[in-house]
Amino acid sequence: MQVKTKLNNIRTILDDPTVSINLFFITREVKEGVAKSAKVIDKYCFKAWNVDISPELVKFFINVAKKQVTRVNDSDDYELEPYSVIGDDLSNKLYTYALNNALSFSDVVSNQLISGTPKSITSLTQIKSDLWAYTLKFTTSNNSALIFRKLSKGKVVTADPQSMTEKVSSIFDSSTSELKVSTQESISFDDKLDCIYINNEFLVFHKSGFENIVGMEEEFKEAAGGVLDIIKGTELIEGVEHIEEQLKGSRALLKTLSNIGKKGNHQNFDANELEKMKNVLHQFEGKELKMTDDGKLLIEDKNDVGYFIKLLNDYYKQGMVSGKFYGTNSGQLLAVNS
């Protein structure tokens, strides 16, 4: 019922005949004085830019929002759950996320979209290089809601000079049955949304899009780096560079290490934990952890990385009621009543 209550609040706004709609583009830039390569979480500045839209686009956006909200609201299977880095990845989850957790992105919501007056743009060229997402602000006399969607630069076509060896946009002229080069500025919108902000919290429909929008990637990188630094400091592993190398191209590994950091599993990594890992891997996978002659864990390839990260993240779990064993990277720490 919590899901339906929250979505009904949104639907009330969308169905209000007096609702007004504003479209904003969101750009993301590195803060002044901060290097792009800097390993800090809060290094980006988000800005909102106002743009006028035609009645046809207003109708399109209202239909998109209603379609997404109705699809979830008409289902009795959806559950409300606080956002977590790694969940069970079920399709019937609607996640909540507090605004004050959103780092720099909270500024664009609170001080620009809700209470500020963003500048208007006269050309897509002004924002194309830093374009990050777009936002729809639905406002009634009683309430408001913000709808967000991640937007890639590839969906934008501007009037920038381009040679025929670079990207070229075209339109089909039905009057002449000819495909022609188009020099008009354009942007493509789809019929999806990633999250809605209402009553001081985000309701997350698509986790990956939401994580990109609010800039969680940097948070994941920082947390993952912290885990690896502590692991290195134990001097119990040889070949940590293989984890670092794989981390560059694996978002799943990045999120898993971030989740490990959140739970603090790496804080207790020592010789005793290493011995437990050896026993668990042999029990569930029939595999032996590679070890050096002086008793260190040896990581040599992708498979070694996978096994170690699974073990560090308590991938292998046992149900307290059934006694059955499971394999999953998700899971939240619970307080146990004595």
Q: What is the pLDDT of residues 41-89, one digit of tens each?
A: 677 889 999 999 898 998 999 999 999 898 888 887 788 888 888 766 5
Cβ atoms 33, 63 nearer than 8 A: no
In a 3-state reduction of DSSP, which class is residue 12? helix
Q: Average model confidence (pLDDT) for the chain?
A: 85
Residues near 109 by beta carbon (within 8 Å), at least 6 away in sequence: 99, 102, 146, 197
Q: Which domain holds residue 280?
A: 219-327
**Would you state the structure tokens that stand for residue 105, as one six-digit string?**
């992105």
Q: Which residue has the higher pLDDT, 102 or 210?
A: 210
Residues 198 and 233 in one domain: no
Residues 69 and 143 in one domain: yes
Residue 117 lies in a domain: yes
pLDDT bucket at 34, cuts 50 / 70 / 90 = confident
Percent of the chain clearing pLDDT 90 (strictly above): 40
pLDDT at 90 over 70: no
Residues 264 and 280 in one domain: yes
Residue 67 lies in a domain: yes
CA–CA dist 224, 115 (Å, integer): 35
CA–CA dist 28, 304 (Å, integer): 37
Residue 333 lies in a domain: no
Residues 200 and 80 in one domain: yes
Residues 227 and 79 in one domain: no
Query: 178-181 and 93-98: which strand pairing?
Result: unpaired
Q: What mean pLDDT do residues 277-298 have?
A: 92
Residues 27 and 56 in one domain: yes
Cβ atoms 302, 256 nearer than 8 A: no
Residues 297 and 199 in one domain: no
Give residue 168's pLDDT. Answer: 59
How many domains does the chain fold into? Answer: 2
Give residue 172's pLDDT. Answer: 61
What does each C-alpha distance from 273 to 216, 265, 293, 312 come to in angstroms?
A: 30, 10, 18, 9
* CB-side neighbour CA atoms (13 Å) of 155: 14
Residues 314 and 205 in one domain: no
Residue 283 lies in a domain: yes
Q: Which residue has the higher pLDDT, 222 or 109?
A: 109
Tens-place pLDDT, residues 138-153: 999 989 999 999 987 7
Residues 31 and 126 in one domain: yes
Residues 117 and 226 in one domain: no
Cβ atoms 289, 283 nearer than 8 A: no
Residues near 67 by beta carbon (within 8 Å), at least 6 away in sequence: 191
**Would you state the structure tokens that stand for residue 296, as one six-digit string?**
């260190």
Greatest pairwise CA separation for the chain in angstroms: 80
Give residue 50's pLDDT. Answer: 94
* Position 260, amino acid: I
Residues 140 and 206 in one domain: yes
- Classify burial at 333, counting beta carbons within 10 Å of its beta carbon; exposed 0-12, middle 13-18, buried 19 or more: exposed
Q: Which residues pair with 134 in a beta bridge?
A: 25, 149
Residues 12 and 126 in one domain: yes
Single pTM value for the model? 0.77
Cβ atoms 21, 53 nearer than 8 A: yes
Q: How many residues does the chain have?
A: 338
**Which H or E run contains 317?**
strand 316-318
CA–CA dist 18, 214 (Å, integer): 30
Residue 332 lies in a domain: no
Residue 179 lies in a domain: no
pLDDT at 293 over 50: yes
